[in-house]
Structure 1
């Protein structure tokens, strides 16, 4: 456990009577992780951070000097990045972009717009011409392939709302080279087929499949492809399964024939979860322990309204216990010893569970549960205001101090 996390918990209890409930983000840990990733990245490849994983302003600021830019999926996200930097490169993706979003993206000098449909492309041509601004686009393609790695979330290789169907590429290029288009320039292609893949070798195979497809389209259509965005999807393990091996991925990719044939084409990656997941902690206190039938439940000051990822993904979220010794009541402290306990939140719903049947040596009311790997898709996707419980506090670790 990060020593600053322990220090923060102890200082909280010295100053507060209320149970602790907080997110703690290790900004220095995130920075060191990204620096390590950059060391092994192939030549002419670039790292972008997909802020949907965690759009916290302090995290964006911490990553600003390290990454090539940021990937956003809404105008809200775009403006968060622009609130930190007016000129950092931005990739703007996501289905269902509204007219005002496209117009703002043009005005805010987005580097590349990931075009998700033929309608979106036609609208962009009109808006760019009206604003007299030249814009660069990558066509997001949904490949018709059955060779993708298996993960919990797949966005490509089958019928979905994401991207332009592979069979419509000819029509998309026909629109781009048409006489009506004077301001929208095709610079390459974007692929994002899955989420949270843990197999580095399979990820290389998938990226190489992308590169093979683009090479085919270049020959057929005579394209000058400046950029291939191979998306994200690099996985984080929330159980005993081995995590994604970044160094193996970059090593295998660099040696592949497909990569060697890239020429001057730039290769983009846009991970989110993989960058920040391991550097966030959701810290919350046990406020009750009780038995119902043959099961024991530990009730937290917190729950899925703060950290919805376990319920969303249907997994038990990894945690550690930080024992607290103080007990000021005249009656026996509720506890469970060498047994199984289901860890639940404070909400009025049976779905508010973060870990089912966890084996614990000792857990008492007043102890602290520290949910590790809570830096991505935890707070952001949660229903924060359900039942009106107070939000958690937020703390940031930098060096040997926090604030």
Structure 2
């Protein structure tokens, strides 16, 4: 949905020659985060997955509504410490370097997620006390976990078992529980909660058997709450998800990213040209996937709204059109064969759901086009 403040800002940016641009509605973001916080309060801790959108303005807007931040690199860790200093941080991600482990220990993060027995051995060798979660990747029944089970993330039961003798000789490594992120981009809140119950049903017996002295166990369920790019007004049902989470002795934690910020960012650009080529209509836009790589990365059409501009003139497109950018590659497609009405050069195209995995996911320097402007409505 393109709100009136965003529409007005898009027209202002166009009038002053400041396109393409990202526009973020921080007031709407705070309202959404407050609703998510209210839904999960008393049920699960809420951490924001910084990888979704690390902009400092986004982190500051979310800060009052989250319990902490999840990072997946030393760069993200340093950024969070600078922008929201003193906040709890969970450090996830495979392939942590020795330098990243050292940075994570001074000062310590709130939780370090261990990805493999070798990573654990390297952490033990540093000799510093640290609180960790072991990242588990069990092959639980159900199709929704197969993608995770076939991934390089975390440890299967054999990998977890290999950690136990290492931990027995390393009292400075304090295991607090497990991290199990077993799905991505699921829109169905009850199904997500059912997966959380299956994870809990496996994880708690494992902890009781292998770490019997663990008090107040923690279970990080990860993120994976989906955003429906085919239905931009559909929002993940957080109250339904939280209500269906299992009642358990473990302290639950969730790490949403996309489902917090995607709805409150827009990529605004304008039409440079329209043309017909081999029976297909094209609208060539300023910018492209070097600014907004999301549709190429995920294989969807990015939803958009056209804002007509008087005086554009020239030929118009009506019917199915493919919206492309300025790059010299046929993969620079933002939406393919989507219906438009009287789309002309000079009209604005406002792409929705551009608040997550958008600019930060894109190949910014390809062809050395200008970077977009960034505007934060408060």
TM-score higher than 0.5 here?
A: yes
Find the counterpart in structure 1 of residue 52 from structure 2. Answer: 53
Equivalent position to 2:363, from 376, 383, 392: 383
Compute the TM-score of the two structures, normalised by the length of structure 2: 0.95
Q: Give the SS at the match of 2:271.
A: strand
Three-state SS of the structure 1 residue aligned to 2:370 is: coil
Matches within 5 A, 1:359-370: 359-370=339-350
Q: Distance in 2 between matches of 1:125 and 1:97?
A: 14
* 1:59-96 deviation per Cα after TM superposition (whole angstroms, max 9, x unaligned): 01111122101000000100110011331000000000
2:151 is aligned with 1:165: no
Tell me the alpha carbon deviations over residues 166-217 of structure 1, each in whole angstroms, 9 at most, x when there is no partner: 2232221221122xx1311100000111211111121111111111112211
Task: Name the TM-score, length of structure 1 as normaliser.
Answer: 0.89
Deviations 1:203-233 (A, max 9, x none): 1111111111122113322141531100000
Query: Using the alignment, how far apart are the partners of 2:187 and 2:341 within structure 1?
Result: 30
Q: Distance in 2 between matches of 1:22 and 1:274?
A: 22
Give me the whole-angstrom Cα distance separating, in 2, the residues matched to 1:122 and 1:164: 14
Gaps of at least 5 residues in structure 1 are 254-258, 399-403
Runs of 4+ in structure 1 deviating by more than 4 angstroms, as ranges, are none
Question: Given that residues 307 and 378 in structure 1 are in contact (C-alpha distance below 8 angstroms), is that contact kept between their aligned partners in structure 2?
Answer: yes
In the other structure, the counterpart of 2:321 is: 341
CA contact (8 A) 2:219 2:251 kept: yes
1:256 is aligned to: none
User: Does structure 1 conserve the Cα–Cα contact (< 8 Å) formed by 2:6 and 2:25?
Assistant: no
Q: Distance in 1 between matches of 2:332 and 2:84?
A: 38
Deviation at 1:326, TM superposition (A): 2.5
Please tell me whether the aligned partners of residues 149 and 202 of structure 1 are also in contact (alpha carbons under 8 angstroms). Answer: no
Q: Deviation per CA, 1:1-45: give whole Å up to 9, x if none.
A: 2112222122234433x7x20001111111111110111215252
The answer to whether the aligner puts 1:12 opposite 2:29 as a matched pair is: no
Q: Match for residue 103 of structure 2?
A: 104
State the secondary structure of the residue aligned to 1:333. Answer: coil
2:330 to 327, 339, 350: 350
The number of residue pairs the alignment matches comes to: 374
Q: Is the 8 A contact 1:31 1:62 kept in 2?
A: yes
**CA deviation digits over 1:247-276, x for unaligned, max 9?**
1111122xxxxx32x22x311100000000
Unpaired segments of 5 or more residues in structure 2? Answer: none
Q: How far apart, in 1, do the equivalents of 2:337 and 2:73 lie?
A: 38
Specify the SS of the correspondent of 2:355: coil
Contact 2:148 2:183 in 1 (8 A): yes
